Chain A
Amino acid sequence: MYAVRRYAVRHARFFERLYNSFEPVMVFLDPIFRSMGYNRLERPVAAVERAVKGLLFDCQMCGQCVLSSTGMSCPMNCPKNLRNGPCGGVRQNGHCEVKPLMKCVWIDAWEGAARMKGGDKIQTVQPPVDRSLEGSSSWLRVAREMAEQKRATREAERHALAEAFSEARAEEPAAVPLAREPDAARPHREANESTTVIETAEAPQGKV
C-alpha cells in the first residue's frame, strides 16, 4: 500500500534497526535451516516474507532484497526497476516521470537513506537483478550467504596460516591443518554443520 510504504521510508531508521537485529538471528539459525533443508523451508518462508514485506514496503519479491541500501524504499516499485536510481526524468515536483501521481521511488530512497545509520550504502553500485530468483525468499538467501561467507573466511584463515608457517606445515601437518575436517572432529563447534553442504557450496558456481 502506497501510504504504508511512504510511512516505512519516513521511519527508515526504525526499520533499519529492526532488520539489523533480525538478520543475525537468521544467520544464527543457518545450521538449523540446513538440517531442516532449505529446500523444504523455501515456500513457507517466502510466503511469510511476501506477506510482511508486501504490507510494509509493497515488496515485489525480487528475491534479492536491497532495502537496507535503498532507504527502505523498494526499487522494484520504480517503473524502470532501477537498482541504482533515480533516473534523469524525475519531475520538478519530485514525482515519477512514468507515474505522475507517485512520488519518485528513488527520491524517497535517498531521503530514507539520509535517515539511516548505514545510509551510505546507497552509494554502492548494485548489480542487475537475477530474474530467475524472482519469488524466492531473500531472508533465507541472506542466512545462507552470510553463513557461507563466515565459513569462507575461516577457510581463508587456514590457508593463510599454512602459508605463513609453511615449514611447520611440511613437518607437522597436524599443527597447521588444511584439509577439510569432518563434523565429528569439531565436537564443540558447528555441531550441525554438515560437510555435504560445504561441498556443494564450493562447487563451481558459474556455468561455463
Chain B
Amino acid sequence: MADLRPEDKLDPAGLTVPVPPGHRSNSRLERVLRSGRFAVTAELNPPDSANPEDVYEAARPLSEVADAINATDASGANCHMSSLGICSLLARVGYGSVFQISCRDRNRIAIQGDVLGAAVIGVSNILCLTGDGVGVGDQPGAKPVFDFDAISLLRTLRTMRDDGMFLSGRKITSPPKIFLGAAENPCIPPFETRADRLAKKVEAGAEFIQTNYIYDVDLFKRFMDRVRDMGLHERVFILAGVGPLASARAAKWMRTNVPGIHVPDAIIERLEGAEKQGLEGKKICIELIQKIREIAGVSGVHVMAYRREELVSEIISESGVLEGRHASDRRRRRAARATSG
C-alpha cells in the first residue's frame, strides 16, 4: 500500500477533537444550548437537483443566523435530495447541520449505517422523526417502512453512541459523537398526553426537541406549563417551531392538507384583513418568536418556511433573538485581543 498523502491524514470533520466535558458531541448547537444562550435553528428545503450550488444558495442566508441548519428528509413524503447529501455539502463549508431521519423510508439496517456515515462526514446533530404517511406525498404508491418509530430510533442511536453497540449487539469500534433530537407537536390531539409523550422521548434519549409549527401560543403555553410541572425543561432543550404564513389562503390550505398543522382562526382573520398578506405573515411570525421567547423553559426557536430561506433569515435577524449574542461575542473578541496584545 502506498504511503498516506498528508491530506489523507487530515481530519476535516474534526472527529479526533475531544468532546467538551458534559457534552455529547462537538456540535455548535449543543454548545450554545448548554451555555444557556437562546439557540436558533432553521430549516433548509432540499432541491430537486444534483447541483451543489442549489444547496449552498439556500444555506447561505441561513448560515448567517442559525446555529445549525436542518436538512429535511423527504418531508411530507415528497422526494428531494437526501438529507445526508445535504449534510455532507454543509459540512464541507463548515456549516453546522441537523441530519433529519424519518422512519418512513428506511429500515434499521439502513438507518444505523447512515448514522455512522453521517458521523464520519462531521454531522453531530441528528433529529429522529417518525415521518408523514406516504399517502400525502408525491409517490403514494411507495411502501411505507416504519421499521422504527421516532422513540425506538432514539433509543437505538443512544445505544450506538453510549454503549458502542448496534441493535444486534455487535460492537462499534468508534461510536458516533452525536447530539440527539426529536420533534414534538404540542398543538394537536391528544393535548393532555403530549407532554407525557415528550417525557417518553427524553427517556428514550432525546437531548433537544424541535417542535412542529406553533401558531397557537396559548395552547403552547399550556403544553409548556405541563412540561415544567414534570420538570422536563431541565432534562431537554426545547426549540419552538415557527414559520411565516404566505397568505390566508395558504394557511387554510396547509391546515386542511398538511398533517399536524393547526392554525387558529384568529390568525387567518388577521391575514385576511391585512393589505399585504405576505408582510403580515412575516410580522406575525416575528411576534410569535418574541412571545415564545418569554415562555419559561423554552431554549430556542426553529424557523421553517418552504423554500424561502432569505425570508427566514430576515425574520430571525429582525426578531432580535440574536442581539445579546453578537454583543457578547464582540466583547469576548475584544477581551481576547486585549489579552493577546
Contact = CB atoms under 8 A, between A and B. Distances in A.
Interface of A: 79-94, 97-98, 104, 107, 110-111, 123, 125-128, 131, 206-208
B200 A84 contact: yes
Interface in B197-218: 197, 199-200, 203-204, 212
Interface residue SS majority, chain B? loop
Contacts of A86: 190, 197
A97 B132 contact: yes
Interface string B137-150: 00000001011111
Interface residues of B, number: 40
Interface of B: 103-104, 108, 130-133, 135-136, 144, 146-152, 155-156, 167-170, 183-185, 188-190, 193, 196-197, 199-200, 203-204, 212, 259-260, 262
Given A88-B184, A88-B212, A83 B152 contact: yes
Nearest to A206: B169
Contacts of B151: 83-84, 125-126
Given A85-B149, A92-B188, A126-B152, A97 B200 contact: no
Given A82-B130, A97-B133, A110 B190 contact: yes
Nearest to B134: A98
23 contacts: A80-B103, A80-B131, A84-B149, A84-B200, A87-B260, A89-B133, A89-B259, A90-B260, A94-B190, A97-B132, A97-B133, A104-B189, A110-B193, A123-B199, A123-B200, A125-B152, A125-B200, A126-B152, A127-B155, A128-B108, A128-B156, A131-B147, A208-B170
Contacts of A104: 189
Given A84-B200, A87-B130, A110-B193, A97 B259 contact: yes
A206 B193 CA distance: 36
